[in-house]
Amino acid sequence: MSDNDVPELRSAGRDTLRTLAYNGAAAAVGIITGIIVAKTLGPVGKGQFSGLNLMQAGISSVTSGFGAAITYYLTKGQRSLADLLRPLAAIVAVLSIVIPALLLAWGAVFGMNPVIIVFAATAPATLVVAWQQGIYLGLNRVKSFNTQVLGFAVFLLLTVAGALIAHLGLLGAMWAWSICVYGAAVVVVVRAASALRGDSTWSFGDALRALIGYGARSAVAGVLGFLNYRIDSLVLIAFLGAAGFGVYSVAVSAGEILFRIPRAVATATTYHVGAASMEASAATTAKSIRTCIAVVVALALPLFVLAPWLIDLFYGARFADAAPALRILLPGIVLFVSAGLFSPFYSFQMGRPMIVFYLGVFMVVVQTGLGVWLVPLLKLNGAAIASTATYLTSAVVVTTHFCLLTKMRWYDVWVLRREDLTSLRRLFGRRGASDRPSSGR
């Protein structure tokens, strides 16, 4: 199936290009923020600050299932934002009490620290921010979401840098992060309010049950997705502490720059994947994966070669051990690009997020076992090996299942086609020599 057979792919492609541009800018700003924190606070301070982000990602993964539910009911479910407003407000109110209470109870038992205090104070805003993607994509407002992502990165850089320049130390940087999250939450609420049209036609009880039912299933998959991305870091913290995690976080953050490419594509195509026919949705998914893999490989190769020099240049000798870990992570990152692009197909086209859940359980078991075995032996490199081995396994499993379901062949998903190159040229304003569709093989 070619671009000409699926008109939605062309608009999705334009959204992808814009999303990549915004995400690329946000990634660059985020790197600068990380460098400033690392150079100012060292490995231990970098590890603690990254721990705050790790906690945000963890809590967000638990609650982001509601964001997925928002997208599903705004696309496939054909509901309006007004239908979802009251139940979502009730969920926010309850979780804004429960999450800080649980965090403070944990701190009382195991020891209070600044990360727990700052995050507990910021929990209500993190809930809203965790759902921003679901809201924007469900409304097909990709541009607004992109603006939000870049704006947050810039605001965070300015506030964190200001706190460190003012000699407020790690705690000041953490509270600067909190201010940014609250600012982002306010923007989401204002923009969502502007999209409200008409009155609700869905009863509060029915809407609440539907959101909780779908959200709970998606949340489990979200938690597993978080563990798949972060279990290496959690195991490493357990064995090596904040300093080791601070160094490893440099490798992870450098490698995750590449993950922004499939995330951008998933952001741009989620609406089309959820709202289109089964055949068109599968075609969009396969094309997205083929194109992303090619782009990520092209970027990963120079990063692999230059890793030691780049880390020494920007972070200094204290973070040198991040270079070999990054090199080990890169092949796994290339393979794992597909996971984030398969997920919208299963969740929003098929309405079966439990498929993502089953894959996630398998991956967490594999990665945890490998991490516990390898980190004590090989330290940072052990965590990286565990991740790459797990990503390889997951890519094989999920590709096999997708192909059986859609009747596609593995090379339809992984091998770049001439029409994909034509699409890329078209995105950048250049016409290929021929726009004829390929044979499909």
Distance CA 26, CA 90 (A): 32
Contact 118, 181 (CB under 8 A): no
Is the pLDDT score of 330 beyond 70?
Answer: yes
Which of 81-90, 212-221, 347-356, 428-437 is the least confident region? 428-437
Within 8 A by CB and 6+ apart from 143, the residues are 15, 18
User: Average pLDDT over the chain, rounded to whole?
Assistant: 83
| Confidence at residue 324, expressed as pLDDT on a 0 to 100 scale | 93
- Residue 301 structure tokens: 């190769």
Distance CA 13, CA 339 (A): 19
CA separation, residue 123 to residues 98, 99, 109, 118, 247 (Å) = 10, 7, 20, 9, 27
**pLDDT single digits (tens) 210-221:** 999 888 877 776
CA separation, residue 19 to residues 16, 188, 214, 266 (Å) = 5, 18, 27, 10
| Confidence at residue 153, expressed as pLDDT on a 0 to 100 scale | 93
- Residue 325 structure tokens: 């870990």
**pLDDT single digits (tens) 411-435:** 888 888 877 777 666 655 544 343 4
| Confidence at residue 438, expressed as pLDDT on a 0 to 100 scale | 39
Going by C-alpha positions, the residue among 246, 204, 252 that lies closest to residue 89 is 204
CA 47 from centroid of its chain's CA atoms: 20
Look at the pTM and tell me if it is higher than 0.75: no
The mean pLDDT value for 30-56 works out to 86
Number of neighbouring beta carbons within 10 Å of residue 194 = 9
Which amino acid is residue 177, in one-letter code?
W
- Residue 379 structure tokens: 């330290």
Contact 38, 242 (CB under 8 A): no
Question: E strands within 183-224?
Answer: none
Is the pLDDT score of 310 beyond 50?
Answer: yes
HSE value, Cβ hemisphere, 13 Å, CA-based, for 233: 26
Is the pLDDT score of 9 beyond 60?
Answer: no
Distance CA 323, CA 311 (A): 7
Contact 77, 271 (CB under 8 A): no
Is the pLDDT score of 378 beyond 50?
Answer: yes
Going by C-alpha positions, the residue among 390, 397, 391, 441 that lies closest to residue 419 is 441
- Residue 410 structure tokens: 């593995």
Which of 154-163, 247-256, 288-297 is the least confident region? 247-256
Is the pLDDT score of 1 beyond 70?
Answer: no
- For the chain, percent of residues with pLDDT exceeding 70: 90
Number of neighbouring beta carbons within 10 Å of residue 16 = 25
The mean pLDDT value for 126-142 works out to 87
